[in-house]
Amino acid sequence: MTDYDVLRVFCGPNGGHGNELGVVRDGSVLPGRSARQALAAELGFSETVFVDDPERGVIDIYTPTLRLPFAGHPCVGTAWLLDVPELVTPAGTVGARLDGEFSWIEARAEWAPPRTLRRYDTPAEVDALDVPPPGEWIYAWAWEDVAAGRIRARAFPGRGDGIDEDEATGAAAILLTDRLGRALNITQGKGSQLLTAPQPHGWVELGGRVFLEP
């Protein structure tokens, strides 16, 4: 079996929740895309990362069914694990930094895969949603506190690959931040926390807590 680490990314203030991420630190053990895709499907995480150059931060990202040019929670988690100033993805170079308990990346909204950002009137409506049938990728959200930038969100990938609901979705948070044009404090899933802030020239910062599973 290929060695890999398991991280929880975008954990809550008490260290709970977060979205699990598999990271294969030595990507050379599985150089081919088909082998990487097969392992990602076998592990069953929402995303699995293969590190092709740990010093330069070159990474390759897979869901259980497809390869992604960029994704938020894999980049936040892998940047924390490798402790590098940037990551190189097929979409572009992602800036990275650590600030206290938070790992931050800086990316562009156009790198994120398409998402349907669906607004609801209240957090209770978001909480009451059932998992929709496979189809479009839906990011359901509502304001908890407009002045404070606090948002309640849930994510439904709709891919039919066994990931009915995504616990914490960085790319969707980047898209929402870009649309709203302001810093956000997002509670997603069962209690994961994502922080964002728009930056000049179309960049968005995305941050969260990362924990390595023993």
What would the pLDDT profile of 40-99 be if each residue is shown by its tens digit? Answer: 999 999 999 999 999 999 999 999 999 999 999 999 999 999 999 999 999 999 999 999
What the block records as the tokens of 178 is 């870009």
Same domain, 79 and 115: no
State pTM to two decimals: 0.95
Same domain, 148 and 202: yes
Q: Which of 67, 98, 129 is the last residue of a domain?
A: 98
E strand or H helix that includes residue 165: none
198 belongs to a structural domain:
yes
Contact present, 51 and 25 (Cβ < 8 Å): yes
Q: Going by C-beta distance under 8 Å and a sequence separation of 6 or more, which residues neighbour residue 64?
A: 40, 41, 43, 44, 45, 46, 161, 162, 163
Q: What is the largest CA-CA distance in the chain?
A: 49
What the block records as the tokens of 48 is 């699995």
What would the pLDDT profile of 110-162 be if each residue is shown by its tens digit? Answer: 999 889 999 999 999 999 999 999 899 999 999 999 999 999 999 999 887 88
pLDDT above 90 covers a percentage of the chain that reads: 93
The pLDDT, as a whole number, for residue 70 is: 98
Domain that holds residue 172: 111-209
Q: Report the chain's mean pLDDT, rounded to a whole number.
A: 96
Q: Which of 98, 130, 161 is the last residue of a domain?
A: 98
Amino acid type, 68: L
Residue 184 CB: number of other CB atoms within 10 A?
23
The pLDDT, as a whole number, for residue 1 is: 73
214 belongs to a structural domain:
no
188 belongs to a structural domain:
yes
Label residue 210 exposed, middle or buried (CB < 10 Å: 0-12, 13-18, 19+).
buried
The pLDDT, as a whole number, for residue 83 is: 96
Residue 174 has pLDDT above 80, yes or no: yes
